[in-house]
Structure 1
Amino acid sequence: MKRFALEPGSSLLDQLFVRIKPERLACLMLGAAEVVAALVRKRNSGHISAAVFAASMLRLRLEVLDAKDFPKLACDNPLIDASLPLLSKHAINSTDGVVLQATLSVAAQARALANDYVLVASDQRLLKAAQAEGLLTFDPETQDQAALSPLLGP
C-alpha cells in the first residue's frame, strides 16, 4: 500500500522499487486486491482525491499487475490449505497466514539458489510470525534506510 498512497514508510518502499529489479520482487494477488480495497476506502473517506486514486491505480497496474517481469503469486486452494497451521501457531489472521505461507514458499525457492527473501510489511504480528519462521523481515514504518540497505544488496 505504501508504494501507492503516501503513508509512513512510503519513501523506503519507493527506494525498494527503484533499486531492486522487478523480477526479484513478488506480490500475492490477494495482496494486490487488499491494496485496491484500501485505496477505495481512502478515496471514499476523502483521504485521497479521485485524481490521486486514479494515479495510484494506474501505478499499481503498470508496476505490478500488468508488468510482465513482476512475479504475481496466486492465492489458490493449496496455498490457503498450507497456511492453515500458521493461523493457530502464530495467532494471525487468515490473510496474514496466506501471505506468510506464500513468502515461506518463495523464500525456500530462493534459498535453494543461494539467495534469500525479505518479507516487507508493517503488521507487527505478521512480522513476528515471519521472524519465528526464519524469514528476514523489514518494517518500513519502524526501520530506516540503514536497516534497508543491507537487505537490498549491492
Structure 2
Amino acid sequence: MPMELGKANVASLVERKTRYAALFRNNDRSSKQLMNRLITLLSPLPLSAWRSITFDRGLEFNRWRDLRTGMDTEAWFCAPQAPWQKGSVENLNKRARRYLPRDTAIVAPSDHAMAEIGAQLNVTPRRCLGYRTPAEAFAEELRQLDRS
C-alpha cells in the first residue's frame, strides 16, 4: 500500500472490481493518523466499496482494529513476501510512480496534487475494464447499488 521515502509515504487504495484509486500522503507513518484518514476517506462511500481492506505487513497498519470499530470494515493481511496477494495495489503503485518517481519528496506534493494524481489515474481507460475508465466503472457500480 505505501510508497515510501524516509518517514513519509503515500497510502494507495484501489477498489478491486473497478480499479478506482485513491492516494494520500501519510507524513509521519502514524498508524492512528493513517486509520483516521482511511475512515474519513472511505466512510462516505457505499459499504460494498470498503467491506474489507487488504494491507501489507507495514507497522503503519498495526491499528487495523480501528477500522472495525470506526466503520465496520474487515482487515486482511498479505503473507510476508507475497505482493501478488494485492496485485491491484502493486499495479496502482507502478502507475503512480509515473507521477511520483522514487526520488520525489513525498511531503512536497500537496493534498490537492495527490488528489489530482488519483483523478488522472481514474480517468485512464483500462483494458481489464473493457477500456472503460475506473471512474466510469465505479460510477456504474454505485448506480447499480442504488437500484438494489
The reply to whether TM is greater than 0.5 is no
Q: Comparing both structures, which one devotes a greater share of its residues to strand?
A: 2
Higher helix content, 1 or 2 = 1
Q: TM-score of the superposition, structure 1-length normalised?
A: 0.33
Greater RCO between the two (CA within 8 Å, min separation 6)? 2
